[in-house]
Amino acid sequence: MVKRSTVAILVAAGAAAAGGLYYVYGAGGGTPPPPGTGLLQISASPLTIPSNGTTTVTVIATTATGTPIQGIVPSLYINGTRQTLSIPPTDASGISTVPVTIGPVGTYNIQAKYQSGLTLLESNIVTVVVQQVQGQLYTIAVTVREATTGQPIAGATVVVNGEGGTSLGSKLTDASGLASFGGITVPVISNFYITVSKAGYRTESAPTLTITQGVGQTTKFVTVNLTQTVSFAVQVKDAISNSPIAGATVMYGGVVVATDTGGNASITTTQLSGTIQVTAQGYVDFSQALSPVSGQTYTLAMTPTGGIPLDQSFLFVGETQTSRIGAVVTYKNVSTTAYSVVAWITARNSSGQTIGIGSSQPQTVIPGQTTSFLVSFFSPIPGGTYTFLSFITSADGSVVLSLTTSRTVTV
């Protein structure tokens, strides 16, 4: 596109000569040229301009003998196309000047013409070159810091891309957290996009950086804060059978995942300590405080609901005249899973003091069946009235599976 710019056009306009041709001169009233051929001459300055730059075109109109022609208005053509410019009439010296602005990079041929009736005057052609002018070179300096402490992060990967997918490459930050990209050219105005990543941190993108040629400092400083993350795994298992639980929902640090067929799930979060929660159909909800460490796997054991009690009864055995040394407890497994468990009994007196406690050997309880456990007190208890409480645990005694209703018995 060609805009108004200053072009010096020399118009030597003498209009026509013998043979019945007539001379054309300005409506403003110049002196008609003597018989002979009129001349238009054109020049431009400068001949090399930047994109959207301006050159001044000068047109001079004279007769064949060099007499200035005043008052004619020549037309300007660029690469053969007539321009809609407002060109002033030639003055008393036969000169008219006009500024011309030319946009895209390229070569432009400029010519002046004047026609009236049968008379056509054409000037010489001048060539103006529009080229990309090298402006200032810019540097983008990116500093990466830890979001909480503000300390610099070394070894972070910084990627800078320009418009249209052009890449300025990637660099690692130094000990001060700095990565610099220099020698950047900016035609007029350009946007740059910065992304920073490092293992153990959440990837972040800086706001779009806009650089305008010739505006502001040549070094553009950008700070990106990275937030530390922790990545760990969990395995959710049945507390009794030790079998994996598929489809359990695990929640930690705003992340919600489901376990696979092996009871496994992975979590990546910025929360470095908190409470992990697990839910699964047929199991008591699980909740535990956790400060996970990246790369670690945590095993979470869930207790079945409705699982083992329970039809239960007591039968004391091994009586002597002064003490009771044990009891028989029966449980019916109303779940659909076989478990290896231990039965326990505590005996409390009327003051609530625990007088005795005992346990059985581990036994496997079969779904739908009743199993009897012989519970031996760790030391004999004397005769009297006691409140007995029976419960069962996993085989290793680590997980309480069921707490039965207490009962008062005189022995």
314: pLDDT strictly greater than 70: no
pLDDT in tens, 290-312: 999 999 999 998 877 654 444 45
Look at residue 398 in the predicted model and tell me its pLDDT: 62
Look at residue 33 in the predicted model and tell me its pLDDT: 42
Q: Under CATH, domain 2-131 is a member of which superfamily? A: Immunoglobulins (2.60.40.10)
- Range(s) within the chain of domains with CATH label 2.60.40.10: 2-131, 137-226, 313-410
- Is the preceding omega at residue 152 within 30 degrees of 0, hence cis? no
Look at residue 25 in the predicted model and tell me its pLDDT: 37
pLDDT in tens, 184-207: 877 777 899 999 999 999 999 999
Look at residue 315 in the predicted model and tell me its pLDDT: 60
Q: Stretch 392-400: mean pLDDT, rounded?
A: 69
> Tokens 């950086």 correspond to what residue?
209
Identify the sign of the CA torsion 109, 115, 120, 121: negative
Look at residue 28 in the predicted model and tell me its pLDDT: 36
Q: Under CATH, domain 230-302 is a member of which superfamily? A: Carboxypeptidase-like, regulatory domain (2.60.40.1120)
pLDDT in tens, 212-254: 877 778 899 999 999 999 999 999 998 766 789 999 999 998 8
49: pLDDT strictly greater than 50: yes
146: pLDDT strictly greater than 80: yes
Instruction: Report the C-alpha gap between 240 and 391 in whole angstroms.
Output: 14
244 and 261 in contact (C-beta within 8 Å)?
A: yes
Look at residue 151 in the predicted model and tell me its pLDDT: 95
2: pLDDT strictly greater than 50: no
Q: Stretch 2-15: mean pLDDT, rounded?
A: 37
DSSP 196-217: EE-TTB--EEPPPEEEETTSS-
328 and 374 in contact (C-beta within 8 Å)?
A: yes
Pick 33 or 381 by higher pLDDT.
Answer: 381
Reference 158, options 176, 145, 173; nearest CA is: 173
Secondary structure (3-state) at 58: strand
375: pLDDT strictly greater than 80: yes
Look at residue 35 in the predicted model and tell me its pLDDT: 40
Out of 164-178, 289-303, 361-375, least confident range: 361-375
The tokens describing 323, both together, are: 């003490």
18: pLDDT strictly greater than 60: no
Look at residue 34 in the predicted model and tell me its pLDDT: 40
- Range(s) within the chain of domains with CATH label 2.60.40.1120: 230-302
Q: Determine what percent of the chain is predicted with pLDDT higher than 90.
A: 37
Please give the DSSP secondary-structure letter assigned to residue 409. Answer: E
Instruction: Report the C-alpha gap between 215 and 210 in whole angstroms.
Output: 11
pLDDT in tens, 147-162: 989 999 999 999 999 8
265: pLDDT strictly greater than 70: yes
27: pLDDT strictly greater than 50: no
CATH architecture, domain 313-410: Sandwich (2.60)
Please say whether the structural domain 137-226 has been given the CATH code 3.40.50.300: no
Mean per-residue pLDDT over the chain, rounded: 80
Identify the sign of the CA torsion 9, 115, 123, 82: positive
Tell me the longest C-alpha to C-alpha distance in the chain.
160
Look at residue 318 in the predicted model and tell me its pLDDT: 61
Side chain identity at 154, as an amino acid letter? A
Q: 10 Å Cβ neighbour count for 175? A: 9
On the CB side of 288, how many CA atoms lie within 13 Å of its CA?
A: 15
Pick 215 or 362 by higher pLDDT.
Answer: 362
